[in-house]
Amino acid sequence: MTVSQMGGDNAEKARVIQTLLFLTGFNTLMQTMFGTRLPSVVSGSHAFLIPVYSIIHAKRYNTYQEPHERFAQTMRGIQGALVIASAFQMILGFLGLWRNIVKYLSPLSVVPLVTFTGLGLYSLAFPMMGKCDGIGLAELVLMVLISQYLPPYITSKRPICDRFAVLFSVPIAWTCAGILTWSGAYNKSTETFNTCRTDSSGLINGAPWIYVPYPFQWGTPTFDVGDVMVMIFASFVSSIESTGSFLATARYGSATPVPPSILSRGIGWLGLGTFLGGLCGSVTGFSASIENCGALAFTRVGSRHVIQISAAFMIFFSVFGKFGAIFASIPLPIAAALYCIFFGCVSSAGLCHLQFCNLNSFRTKFILGLSFSLGLSIPQFFREHWVTSNHSPLHTHSRWFDNMVSVVLMSHASVAVTIAMILDCTLGRANNENGKDWWEKFAMYGKDVRTDEFYKLPWKLNKFFPAF
């Protein structure tokens, strides 16, 4: 959608998707080898969409009437903003500044952080699935049936149904969508034509057979101060949501809670990934994938080697574009049905941390209640204004300042964890009301003997990237 608004056609859309997929695979390999070393996929972040849309609708690009020229100029503006924002994120991570922030986390403040990291993307789940309720609902029902109801009736030494439910259900729903597409069932309605058909993306015809993304493929990046400031705040929000994803991934991967120094190292590598995205033109920056975290929880395959193999496949499908375009033809409602389950699994990882808190304490209930309430209502307030007027509810003389505030306050995880951390650190508490005593032993790298098993860098690289 963003490429179309920029003036790009199907060929340029295919190149952008191939670039994003290639960098997703490469950054995932780097994150699993040198970052947090958790089995986490690094993918495009939704936190960067507001600054991207702000750049797309900037008045300075209205002078370009030719669609291809407008696309190239807009892309260069996005690239320039991403490059500067990535420098901020790398400084935040590699210099240990992020460690000094997340060290104030406790199980009590992790609950709204991880919970809203999953629930914050609810608009990509059932609302998108409902645009083609026949195929989307069929995929959701198949997932539940295969993963939850079939295992008691199938005897096997290894789990099959719950672990491979996605591989079993998606081809079935995809095949049904293909049959209905070829039969002309979706030709009567414009909405179903655009969302239900397997050939509506136009990527198969637009994608080249072989294509390797490279830096400056759309020209030299351009820079605007306002765009850069909004993008920097987006990278900060991306860091918050990635922290929640890392903590949930560690929980489902049976790893110890991630030490602040390792989280800081992971954010630094995410900044490097955003820098590469800015050079090559991936449209958006990068963050830890919430969808992958939910898939990890659902399949219970918490191996970094599995993620590294999948990253190699991403690189393969990005280079050989026709193969990747075939998988990109899967209707979005099918993916949205998967998100309904995956996002719920991520949110439940946040709620699991309640076991370390004193739920009989009114202080605990007050912090949880206020952070949940404002974490839902404030982003919704800002989102409604954006949908109706394409503008922030703030009306200052500086549009980029309005967008900066909107980027932060439209993130459910950012609002919820900020309120929870401030209240948790400022309100007096009795012994271990927030679970901090249990959390403290994981705050320093080396206090737990299992930390090296999960987070130690290979090839004796810890002496070059020490745990702060």
Structural domains of the chain, count: 1
CB 28 within 8 A of CB 311: yes
Tell me the pLDDT tens digit for each residue of 108-153: 999 999 999 998 888 888 888 888 878 889 999 999 999 889 888 8
Q: Is 220 left (phi over 0), alpha (psi -120 to 50) or beta?
A: beta
The two structure tokens encoding residue 254: 């049976």
Structural domain contains residue 279? yes
What is the arithmetic mean of pLDDT over 174-199?
A: 76
Confirm whether 393 is domain-assigned: no
DSSP 85-105: HHHHHHHHHHTSHHHHHHTT-
Q: What is the average per-residue pLDDT within 330-347? A: 90
User: Residue 449: exposed, middle, or buried by beta-carbon count in 10 A (0-12, 13-18, 19+)?
Assistant: exposed
Residue 109 lies in a domain: yes
With respect to residue 364, please indicate whether it lies within any of the assigned structural domains.
Answer: no
Average pLDDT for residues 334-355, to the nearest whole number? Answer: 91
Q: In the predicted model, is pLDDT for residue 370 greater than 60?
A: yes
Torsional sign, CA 421, 424, 426, 427: positive
Domain that holds residue 16: 2-354+448-463
Contact 336, 87 (CB under 8 A): no
- Summarised one tens digit per residue, pLDDT across range 408-456 is 999 999 999 999 999 999 987 767 788 888 787 777 766 666 677 777 7
Rounded distance, CA 394 to CA 421, Å? 25
Residues 5-27 have pLDDT tens digits of 888 887 888 888 889 999 999 99
**What integer best gives the mean pLDDT of the chain?**
86
Q: Look up the pTM and report it.
A: 0.92
Helical axes 332-351 vs 165-183, angle rounded to 10°: 150
220 in any annotated domain: yes
Separation CA 215–CA 329 (nearest Å): 27
**243 pLDDT more than 50:** yes
On whether residue 121 sits in a domain, the answer given is: yes
Q: Specify if 21 maps to a domain.
A: yes
Does residue 399 lie in a domain region?
A: no
**Structure tokens, 331:** 């209707």
pLDDT band at 468 (very low <50, low <70, confident <90, very high): very low
- 286 three-class SS: strand
